[in-house]
Homo-oligomer: A and B are copies of this chain.
Amino acid sequence: MFEDKKAAWLEKAEALKPVLRKETVRPVSGMPDHALTENESVVLDFGGHYVGYLTLNLTGEGSHPDAPAWLSVKFCENSRELHETLDGYQGWISKGWVQQDQFHVDVLPAVLSMPRRYAFRYVKIDVLALSSKYRLVIRDAFAETVTSAADENVLPLEGDGQEAVIDRVALRTLRSCMQDVFEDGPKRDRRLWLGDLRLQALTNSVTYRNFDLVKRCLYLFACAADREGRIPACLFTEPRVEGDDTYMLDYSLFFIPTLLQDAEAGGDRETVRDLLPLALHQLCLADRQFDPDTGLIRDSDRMGWCFVDWNLGLNRQFCAQAIWIYCARAALRMQDDPGLARLVAERTAAARSAWYDAERHLFVSGSERQVSRASQVWAVLAGIAEGEEATACLDAVSACPEVVGMVTPYMMHHYVEALCRIGRKAQARQVIRDYWGGMVRHGADTFWELYNPQNPDESPYGSPVVNSYCHAWSCTPAWFLRSGILNENA
């Protein structure tokens, strides 16, 4: 399906490919004031998070260098990475993501321009080998940084110090992820994921306002749909545009609210006109997972069938149903459709009937009737719970002693949004100050992929060494703080 449209979509996507903005930056500290010997290390600190290409201008001191200089160069987004190693790494995400390369410099002086793009604040250089006859001088170190974010479009946030700092870190997070596409993280995975794109587009709409980039990404996802018209969870742009073979129910559906947001924020009708049929098709594809008799979505044991949060213990059945309803409602805002509206009403009623525990004011999920914060959040966002009932749900889950919690800033975003929806603006603001502010207190220059205040070492990958410390889905404090949604009257 839609195959006949893809060439035109791809052409539009490529025409919108941004010219990256380049800037040369140098370390603010760490440049050695002496010539280095074998086994010495230096840590260059660029003073902030950047994405780009490093060049070292090297020479020898002493005798003519009579052996190659062998260097290990490690790029760290976060100072904790400086001390981590891959020794014994058994995680399931590739250790190829760790930003560490080795170089042999055969002739000195040399300009060592590293060909790979890195995401970093710190650069650790270990001198693995020289010879006894010379020492290594780093005459200059600079990075050519790249982004498609336009700083001049964004004024600093007014207001109190802490929120201004959180906003600045959020902006930096988004900025570093804005490249040829909205990347999820410039260290890892360096590609376009729909779940991240939706939150990036939201934040972009009140900050860098690069609507062309959002439009490009929507068209890219449209091109990457499979033969059935199913939109993948993420896509690759190199060596050519190709969807990943990872499909997640919620991510496919989020194409719809992302398209809606773009239409509302960017004001461009062309994209909606082109892509709405494909967007609506995601709802139809998801229909197969519903039991026509009960109106309930079927649960699944398949890892990653529906993302919601990085929490292996979370039952996702309720959230999946809620997200379908949330996205269908977004579709109805773009196009009237009485049949769809009826289906939304039926499935909302079915969800309440099956999973609302009215006595406890909690939505449960799965055959074991699991209580999670995610379920209450999505009940509110999807409008399955409204008004006082929505407030009661969120209060009840907070009071519940055993509840499956949230582990990602991505899920935290939805929680804060749900708090805003029920009018708890001060509480929403406090969550931002506590949660994202917690990362700032841990020294974050950009917001992390993962942050558990109770266990900052947590990683779903088996080791924090592959964690991403600049991750798109964490950038939304800038949206909360700038969109007006936190205002009491909004």
Contacts and interface: CB of A to CB of B under 8 A. Distances in A.
Nearest to A108: B239
Given A101-B104, A106-B116, A116-B106, A96 B66 contact: no
A67 B97 contact: yes
Interface stretch (A123-131, A158-166, A203-211, A393-401): A123-131
A95 interface: yes
Given A116-B106, A239-B107, A69 B96 contact: yes
Contacts of A212: none
A189 B133 CA distance: 14
Number of copies: 2
A104 B242 CA distance: 21
A101 B64 CA distance: 23
A131 B63 contact: no
11 contacts: A64-B236, A66-B236, A68-B94, A68-B96, A70-B94, A94-B130, A94-B131, A95-B128, A96-B131, A107-B238, A108-B239
A244 B68 contact: no
Main secondary structure of the interface of A (DSSP, over half): loop
A102 B102 contact: yes
B67 A96 contact: yes
Interface of A: 38, 63-64, 66-70, 92-97, 101-102, 104, 106-109, 116, 128-132, 188-189, 191, 236, 238-239, 242, 244-245
Most chain B CB atoms below 10 A, which of A68, A128, A189:
A68
A360 to B, nearest CB: 41
B245 A92 contact: no
Contacts of A97: 67-68
Given A106-B116, A116-B106, A242 B64 contact: yes
Given A64-B245, A108-B239, 20 more contacts: A38-B94, A63-B244, A63-B245, A64-B236, A66-B191, A66-B236, A66-B244, A67-B94, A68-B96, A68-B97, A69-B96, A70-B95, A92-B132, A93-B131, A94-B131, A94-B132, A95-B128, A95-B129, A106-B116, A107-B238
